[in-house]
Amino acid sequence: MQTRQTIYQQLLTVSEQNLSEHRKQITRISVIRFVWFCLLAFLVWISRHLPIYIPVLESIGGIIGFLILIVWYDKHIRQRDYSETRIRLLQKELNLIDYNFEGIDDAREELNGDHPFINDLDVFGGHSLFQYLNRSIAGLGRETLIQWLKDHLTEKAEIVQRQKAVAELSVKQELRLHFFNHRNDTAFFRLKTGRNCRSFLLRKITFREKKYYGDLSD
What tens digit of pLDDT does each residue of 83-111 get? 998 898 899 889 888 888 888 888 888 88
Give me the amino acid identity at 51. P
C-beta of residue 123 within 8 angstroms of C-beta of residue 129:
yes
Q: What is the pLDDT of residue 183?
A: 62
**Residue 128: how many CB atoms within 10 A of its CB?**
22
Q: What is the pLDDT of residue 216?
A: 43
Q: Which of 59-68, 145-154, 172-181, 207-216 has the highest mean pLDDT?
A: 59-68
Residue 197 has pLDDT above 80, yes or no: no
- Greater pLDDT, 66 or 137: 66
- What are the strands, taking DSSP E only, across 63-127? none
Q: In sequence order, what are the residues at sequence separation of 6 or more whose Cβ sits closer than 8 angstroms to the Cβ of residue 90? A: 8, 11, 12, 15, 177
38-42, 75-79, 81-85, 126-130, range with the lowest pLDDT: 126-130
Residue 213 has pLDDT above 70, yes or no: no
Mean pLDDT value of segment 106-121: 78
pLDDT interval class at 203 (50, 70, 90): very low
Residue 210 has pLDDT above 60, yes or no: no
52-66, 112-126, 138-152, range with the lowest pLDDT: 112-126
- Greater pLDDT, 79 or 193: 79
Of all residues in the chain, the percent with pLDDT exceeding 70 is: 82
Query: pLDDT by residue (tens digit) across 17-68?
Result: 999 999 999 999 999 999 999 999 999 899 888 898 888 998 999 999 999 9
Closest residue by Cα to residue 78 from 3, 25, 32 = 25
End-to-end CA distance of the chain: 16
Of all residues in the chain, the percent with pLDDT exceeding 90 is: 28
Mean pLDDT value of segment 167-177: 80
Q: In sequence order, what are the residues at sequence separation of 6 or more whose Cβ sits closer than 8 angstroms to the Cβ of residue 10? A: 2
